[in-house]
Structure formats: structure tokens, C-alpha cells
Amino acid sequence: MIKKLADYLVEEILQESDLVLEPDEDLLSTGLVDSMGIVRYIAWISEEFDIEIPTEDMIIDNFINLEAISRYITSRQA
């Protein structure tokens, strides 16, 4: 799942095809992904993984890096 998350983020949101993201790399505090990018990413995650992401779950802890996003998706699919 992390590869799929990384591939979409790199290609569609960041548009940096040669960028390699580490699973624990901070996406938000570093400014790698801006607020509009994270909104687009969350919308894609919701659709791609067929999960509802309530507003109260849109917190930095759930979307700080690829590992956290993967854990969050898994918890919503359970």
C-alpha cells in the first residue's frame, strides 16, 4: 500500500517523477505537500480505498507520512 500511496503522491500531487519518498518522511511540516495538495490527496485516498474520511480525522497525526497514512487507511477498512 505504501508504494501505491507514494506513487500517486509523487506523480499526481508533487509532479516529481524522480522523487523517492521514505515511508517515514514528514510530508507536512517540511512543506513538501501544501494544504491544497493534502486536500487533493485525501480525496484520492477516500475514493481509491473506498473509505470515508470524516473531518475530525483530518489531523496531522493521520497524514504526516506514508506510514501514518497507511495505518489510518487500514484502520478505516477494518
Number of H helices, E strands in the chain: 4, 0
Q: What is the pLDDT of residues 24-63, one digit of tens each?
A: 999 999 999 999 999 999 999 999 999 999 999 999 999 9
CATH code for the domain in which residue 56 is found: 1.10.1200.10
> Residue 78 — very low, low, confident or very high, per pLDDT cuts 50/70/90?
confident
The whole domain housing 32 covers 2-77
Total domains, the chain: 1
Look up residue 37 and give its three cell numbers. 495538495
Tell the burial category of 49 from Cβ atoms under 10 Å away from its Cβ (0-12, 13-18, 19+).
Answer: middle
Q: What is the pLDDT of residues 56-65, one digit of tens each?
A: 999 999 999 9
- pTM of the full predicted structure? 0.93
